[in-house]
Amino acid sequence: MEKVKCLIVGGGPAGFTAAIYASRASLSPVLYEGMEPGGQLTTTTVVENFPGYPEGVDGVQMMDDLRRQAVRLGADVRSGIITKADLSQRPFRFTLDGGGEIEAEAVILATGASARYLGLPSETKYRGMGVSACATCDGFFYRRKDVAVVGGGDTACEEASYLASLCNKVYMIVRKPFMRASQAMQERVAATPNIEVLYEYNTVEVLGDEDGVTGALVQHADGSQRTLAIDGFFLAIGHHPNTELFAGQIELDAEGYIKTVPGMSHTSVEGVFAAGDVCDTRYRQAITAAASGCKAAVDCERFLHSK
């Protein structure tokens, strides 16, 4: 069985930053990128708030740069998925999607978070046929068409603004009488003439035919319903942490995020560290994920050297 000192699970800003630091600390890290190589940043457009990029940077480009930086410094970056984790004793043992196994003296969990869906059967039925949780990935298919975005957070505003640049009309379906998004994002939406915000509306059903989505039935808080004629239905209602593999083995909070020692990356299991959105319910930014990846690598190095 392959044995490594430091295994990093997840290839987003947290995982790659951990890999950069762990490589420079001579831990010879092995990183598995998982199901969504590059993480959530690959589903965004331009990242304007990462320090050091005065003109902004494309999310996919940024992740590619991070990956190349990690590799140049010696990280072994692999495109594979960990399907099973045994954290009950050190060295920790992991099973890969191809069936192989790997043992690690220490592990950094940076598996991030995934998009949430409403849970409607009709939404599941039309997933990939007009229902999407990634405007950047799929917006292209709806050029000059009408679409809806569900959610009132920063992501929803960002996706609606992006779609408005491609589509004829964008409805935002917001369940409360106000948005949770930052003032700047809300102002951007308000200044975009082809976005119509529907406050206090919930989606009852996604409508469609054999070719995909044709509409959405939405209901106002007062009980009145209306049908939106749309071709694309985009979800932007937040994320859930990718911690299923570790459930029951390390402490998670009520929403399933990994609990860490405040200000550090230590988890409830010695030798297991966490970084990025998988343990961050508050900030969830690329820069905070990267910073926590750095902390995890430093904590991991100190742990390994203390053994």
Residue 151 interacts with ligand NDP (CB under 6 A): yes or no:
yes
Of the residues 175, 188, 240, 259, which one makes contact with ligand NDP according to CB under 6 A: 175
Of the residues 25, 82, 102, 156, which one makes contact with ligand NDP according to CB under 6 A: 156
Q: Which stretch binds ligand NDP (CB under 6 A): 33-41, 58-66, 128-136, 153-161?
A: 153-161
Q: Which stretch binds ligand NDP (CB under 6 A): 50-58, 95-103, 163-171, 233-241?
A: 233-241
Residue 200 interacts with ligand NDP (CB under 6 A): yes or no:
no
How many CB atoms within 10 Å of residue 133?
Answer: 21
Query: If phi over 0 gives left and psi between -120 and 50 gives alpha, with beta otherwise, what is residue 128?
Result: left
Q: In what order do the strands lie in the sheet with 225-229?
A: 201-209, 212-220, 225-229
Residue 158 interacts with ligand NDP (CB under 6 A): yes or no:
yes
Of the residues 49, 79, 83, 194, which one makes contact with ligand NDP according to CB under 6 A: 49
Structure tokens belonging to residue 301: 């190095």
Of the residues 238, 256, 259, 298, which one makes contact with ligand NDP according to CB under 6 A: 238
Give the whole-angstrom CA distance, residue 142 versus residue 230: 10
Residue 13 interacts with ligand NDP (CB under 6 A): yes or no:
no
Structure tokens belonging to residue 39: 């993480």
Residue 188 interacts with ligand NDP (CB under 6 A): yes or no:
no
Instruction: Answer whether the bond into residue 241 is a cis peptide, omega within 30°.
Output: no
Of the residues 37, 74, 80, 153, which one makes contact with ligand NDP according to CB under 6 A: 153
Give the whole-angstrom CA distance, residue 192 versus residue 91: 54
Catalytic residue set: 134, 137-138
Q: Which is nearer to ligand NDP, 19 or 279 (CB)?
A: 279
Give the whole-angstrom CA distance, residue 243 versus residue 85: 11
User: Nearest-CA neighbor of 220 among 278, 255, 175, 163?
Assistant: 175
Residue 154 interacts with ligand NDP (CB under 6 A): yes or no:
yes
Q: Which residues, 268 to 307, sit near ligand NDP by CB under 6 A?
A: 284
Phi, psi of 292 (to 5 degrees): -70, -30
Q: Which residues bind ligand NDP (CB under 6 A)?
A: 49, 118, 150-156, 158, 175-176, 180, 236-238, 284
